[in-house]
Amino acid sequence: MRAALMYGAGDVRVETVPDAALAEPTDAIVRVTAGCICGSDLWPYASKKPSEQGSRMGHEFVGVVEQVGDAVTDVKVGDFVIAPFVYSDGTCDFCRDGLQTSCRHGGNWGGTHGDGGQGEVVRVPQADGTLVVVPAGFDEALVPSLLALSDVMSTGYHAAKMGGVTAGQSVAVIGDGAVGLSAVIAAKLLGASQIILLGRHTDRTDLGREFGATDVVPERGDEAIARVRELTGGDGVHVVLEAVGLGDATVTAIGIVRDGGSISRVGVPQEREAPFGRPEFLRNLTLTGGVAPARHYIPELLPLVLDGTIEPGRVFDRTVDLDGVPDGYRAMADRNALKVMVRP
């Protein structure tokens, strides 16, 4: 079978790899209908040291189950399934608490020992705990939005849930990437009455408006802070959903959040420390968020995709086949594409 591997910064290749095969009785084999390239894939694409051994890529996919191990009971051959961006056993205490990202037997897709979603077929560990079956079965029109549940939509929703967004609140979303736009959808779902999207790519912020953003702030830094405060009567928003991960975004978040408010971050932090000292303490600010347990949210979000309430798949603005994956990385890194879908 064929799959994408990253050998270093800027170096993604599509190669023939060993066929995916059952290794544990809890495994399933899933043929990938659609995978995609993640904003988080761009960090190693920018900085990974060259290596002789490539890393298998892709942690978001939907597909059809081709085989299951003897211990798999819930997932059946032929099921159309969504894979969250980490696998998890579904039975440990963390999974039962809805924190599948801390599963005692979970792990990451791809790398040097696992299959990734940017390939033809994937061995899925802990299949019953990991995969979510789409009850309606395969539907071509829904593929993009179901695929978005793998990561970006669930991540945006995690931001909003951890931030405690409730009806009538004002929310700011920092970042107009696929996660930021998904966070707009999430804030709207939870009833936010004002949703301010901070981003400067007009095509993306236009989509953000369609998703529910009431205001767009293209400014950055102090100017962005001033603008959001102006839009909120001087006091800032109840909740900031931070979908960037850079320190500047945290500083902006602190500047635009109302006293007593929350900054919920789902952009992977690129810095070791957060500027959360006495001023933030005196303002009763909360710093929350983290890596999203997508598996926890997919069952809740799936019906909303199936009935058309949300269409997170609109974040995909380019589709490539497997051979097009290197081009897809380039397009996303150069900001020529918002999010690239891969149809192997």
| Residue 285 binding a copy of itself, by CB under 8 A | yes
Q: What is the DSSP letter of 38?
A: -
Q: How near is the Cβ of 248 to a copy of itself at its closest, in Å?
A: 15
Among residues 275, 299, 303, 308, which is the contact residue for a copy of itself, using CB under 8 A? 275
| Selected range binding a copy of itself among 98-106, 127-135, 181-189, 322-330, rule: CB under 8 A | 98-106
CA distance 270 to 12: 23
Among residues 265, 295, 318, 339, which is the contact residue for a copy of itself, using CB under 8 A? 265
Asked if 231 and 208 touch (Cβ cutoff 8 Å), the reply is: no
| Residue 167 binding a copy of itself, by CB under 8 A | no
Residue 3 or 287: which CB sits closer to a copy of itself? 287
| Selected range binding a copy of itself among 47-55, 56-64, 183-191, 287-295, rule: CB under 8 A | 287-295
CA distance 10 to 141: 32
| Residue 216 binding a copy of itself, by CB under 8 A | no
Residues paired with residue 174 on neighbouring β-strands, in sequence order: 198, 242
Among residues 74, 120, 219, 280, which is the contact residue for a copy of itself, using CB under 8 A? 280
Q: How near is the Cβ of 155 to a copy of itself at its closest, in Å?
A: 12
| Residue 40 binding a copy of itself, by CB under 8 A | no
CA distance 134 to 117: 18
**What order do you get walking across the sheet with 55-56 strand by strand?**
11-16, 2-8, 55-56
Asked if 35 and 58 touch (Cβ cutoff 8 Å), the reply is: yes
Sketch the per residue contact string, 100 through 129, with a copy of itself: x for CB under 8 A, - otherwise: -xx---------------------------
Residue 50 or 234: which CB sits closer to a copy of itself? 234
Which among 323, 299, 305 is positioned nearest to 132, based on CA atoms?
299
Among residues 54, 69, 90, 289, which is the contact residue for a copy of itself, using CB under 8 A? 289
Among residues 53, 113, 140, 277, which is the contact residue for a copy of itself, using CB under 8 A? 277
| Residue 94 binding a copy of itself, by CB under 8 A | yes
Tokens of 76: 């059946």
Question: What distance lies between CA 307 and its chain's CA centroid?
Answer: 21
Close Cβ partners of 272 (under 8 Å, ≥ 6 residues apart): none
| Residue 272 binding a copy of itself, by CB under 8 A | yes
Among residues 146, 162, 195, 237, which is the contact residue for a copy of itself, using CB under 8 A? 162
Question: Which CA distances in Å does 240 have to 100, 159, 289, 315?
Answer: 24, 9, 10, 21
Residue 133 or 291: which CB sits closer to a copy of itself? 291
Coil, strand or helix at 316: coil
Q: Which long-range contacts (CB under 8 A, 24 or more apart) does 103-107 make?
A: 103/129
| Residue 281 binding a copy of itself, by CB under 8 A | yes
Handedness of CA 258, 259, 265, 267 (dihedral sign): positive
Residue 8 or 290: which CB sits closer to a copy of itself? 290
| Residue 284 binding a copy of itself, by CB under 8 A | yes
Q: How many C-beta atoms lie closer than 10 Å to residue 161's C-beta?
A: 21
| Selected range binding a copy of itself among 147-155, 215-223, 265-273, 325-333, rule: CB under 8 A | 265-273
- Residue ranges that bind a copy of itself, judged by CB under 8 A: 94, 97, 99, 101-102, 162, 259-260, 265, 268-278, 280-291, 293
